[in-house]
Amino acid sequence: MNKIIGLTLIVVFFSGCALEGRLFSNTVAPLSSDFNNTPVGLKKCVIKNYRVREPVSRLNVSAEWSRGYVAEQAREAGIENIYYMDVRVLSFLLGIYRRKDLIIYGD
């Protein structure tokens, strides 16, 4: 019985069932919850933000880089009116590598 409980805890710990998947997670969530009369929009733009952190020492050393600013990237995609944004987070190996995408919707 103890082996079953231990195996279940290991599976939950390393899966996406916990708060954040330990080996891999890919989630999409809205940046706002106020969608009262919010139009959907016909265009979409994605802004990528990357992070890599060093997991061994406890110095919390990481590097983060992004590919563009919101208004500039939206303008390049032909979006003049931003209606709402989602955030997609892709994470590997306890968050050692993480990519965060801002998904912009508008016209």
Residue 1 per-residue DSSP state = -
Residue 68 per-residue DSSP state = -
- The mean pLDDT value of the chain amounts to 78
Whether pTM exceeds 0.85: no
Binned at pLDDT 50, 70 and 90, residue 17 comes out as very low
Cα separation of 41 and 100, whole Å? 22
Mean pLDDT over residues 12-17, rounded? 56
